[in-house]
Amino acid sequence: MTSLSTVFLRLEGPLQAWGDNSKFVIRRTMEGPTKSGVLGLICCAMGLSRQAARERLPELNKLTMGARIDRPGTRWWDYHTVGAGIGMMTAAGGIKTGAQGTLITRREYLADASFLVALHGEATLIKKVADALTSPKWPIFLGRKSCPPSVPVWAKPRSGETWTNPMTGPEDLKSMLALVPWHPRHEGDERPASGELPCLIEWRAANEGDIAPSDAEVWYDAPFSFDPPVHHPRLVAREQVPVQAGNALQERTSVPPRPRADYQNTEYKEARKKRIESDHGLCVFCKSPATTVQHVTYRRAGGDEQPDDLRSLCRLCHDAVTMIEYGLGMGIDRINPEDSRWRDPIIKKRHEIIEFRSLETRRRRLSAEEVE
């Protein structure tokens, strides 16, 4: 019998971004680390070029991966400008073209999240991964190059703790993830009352005939090449894992309180509810069921909103409007989807999104077929 072992990574930083490999102007993040992101990080630690990585990835993919969500973080948007040679509207109302033209893309991040990742598999390979993580050859990052880690990625037991990294033994991912204690980061952080933390655990059949749990999800993030990017599907099951609270007080450093956008306040919720009611629960643009509201002005944003500052929208129309706004770099007054001037641009953007989504579905289906 081959000997098995598990290596632990602590993925924590101001920002992380675990993309779903979309190449669109809106780049979202998954709720936890992707396997392509984590194996990419390990290839950086090993100092492997993209070409060299291709030879090592089949072996690295044999490791199973589990991620414990110690702190889910807050979703946060940023926008990037990319020179694209297309026309852009200027503040003065003109159009900049040619080399000055700039494309604006939106990128989503997880702010202030913390994940404990376990990679489980053949002991000699785990040893190589652990060695690379203790002295990385190249700088490592949390999903995107702009996201450096704020603590060493190689997870280390704190004083008084008995677990080791790597941890040997034939145990499965789930029991390994339960052995590492949970630590608060901010004053007042509390371990969930249930004593359990959510985990995203890669599912593999242990015995012939094993059937995946019915709620397992397909994640298209098992990398077989970074250049060109080739990803295979894998199954990810959501589980709850019991954890002990670690002895953290002695090592906790105090951090300033985090600023938060106060979108949870009751006045805003009340204005939002009133607006959706007055729109009869329908998107003001396409009359599909409304799932959100659009601010037509940010003049009173943050709690003093009046229902008249908002418009009910469905998800698709909201995405379309938001993308147009970012493309134009608008100020405090935003797009009013009821204004006829915006009708054609919104319809056009909705078509682009629908077309992109069906392309994406086809691409995913193709890459799934490739595996069979």
10 or 275: CB nearest Zn ion: 275
Under the binding rule (CB under 5 A), the answer on residue 317 touching Zn ion is yes
**Helix or strand (DSSP H, E) at 343:** helix 343-371
Q: ∠19-20-23 over CA atoms, to 5°?
A: 85
Q: Which stretch binds Zn ion (CB under 5 A): 41-49, 219-227, 243-251, 286-294?
A: 286-294
Q: Which stretch binds Zn ion (CB under 5 A): 96-104, 148-156, 245-253, 316-324?
A: 316-324
# binding residues, Zn ion (CB under 5 A): 6
Q: Nearest approach, Cβ of 344 to Zn ion (angstroms)?
A: 15
Q: Which stretch binds Zn ion (CB under 5 A): 56-64, 128-136, 314-322, 328-336?
A: 314-322
Cα separation values, 99 from 84, 85, 86, Å: 8, 5, 8
DSSP for 186-241 reads STT----TTSEEEEEEEE--SSTT----TT-EEEEEEEEEETTEEEEEEEEEEEEE
Q: Nearest approach, Cβ of 315 to Zn ion (angstroms)?
A: 8
Q: Nearest approach, Cβ of 72 to Zn ion (angstroms)?
A: 29
Q: Among residues 237, 286, 301, 353, which is the contact residue for Zn ion, using CB under 5 A?
A: 286
Q: Nearest approach, Cβ of 334 to Zn ion (angstroms)?
A: 16
Q: ∠238-35-248 over CA atoms, to 5°?
A: 65
Q: Nearest approach, Cβ of 288 to Zn ion (angstroms)?
A: 5
262 or 338: CB nearest Zn ion: 338
Q: Nearest approach, Cβ of 281 to Zn ion (angstroms)?
A: 12
Q: Nearest approach, Cβ of 283 to Zn ion (angstroms)?
A: 3
139 or 281: CB nearest Zn ion: 281
The conformation of residue 158, written as its DSSP 8-state character, comes to: P
287 or 299: CB nearest Zn ion: 287
167 or 317: CB nearest Zn ion: 317
3-state percent helix, strand, coil for the chain, nearest multiple of 5: 30, 30, 40
Q: Nearest approach, Cβ of 107 to Zn ion (angstroms)?
A: 24
Q: Which stretch binds Zn ion (CB under 5 A): 105-113, 142-150, 299-307, 308-316?
A: 308-316
119 or 293: CB nearest Zn ion: 293
102 or 292: CB nearest Zn ion: 292
131 or 319: CB nearest Zn ion: 319
Angle between helices 315-328 and 343-371 (to 10 degrees): 110
Q: Look up residue 354 and give its amino acid.
A: I
For residue 86, give every residue at least 6 positions away whose Cβ sits within 8 Å of its Cβ, in sequence order, or none.
97, 101, 103
The conformation of residue 115, written as its DSSP 8-state character, comes to: E
Q: Which stretch binds Zn ion (CB under 5 A): 3-11, 187-195, 285-293, 330-338?
A: 285-293
Cα separation values, 15 from 260, 322, 337, 367, Å: 15, 22, 32, 30
Structure-block tokens of residue 6: 């598990």
Site for Zn ion in 245-284 (CB under 5 A): 283
How many Å apart are CA 183 and CA 162, to the nearest integer?
Answer: 15
Strands 292-295 and 229-242: unpaired
203 or 285: CB nearest Zn ion: 285
Q: Nearest approach, Cβ of 319 to Zn ion (angstroms)?
A: 10
Q: Among residues 44, 222, 241, 314, which is the contact residue for Zn ion, using CB under 5 A?
A: 314
Q: Nearest approach, Cβ of 346 to Zn ion (angstroms)?
A: 9
144 or 315: CB nearest Zn ion: 315
Angle between helices 123-134 and 35-46 (to 10 degrees): 70
Structure-block tokens of residue 61: 């993919």
Residue with structure tokens 């989503």? Answer: 108
Residues near Zn ion (CB under 5 A) are: 283, 285-286, 288, 314, 317
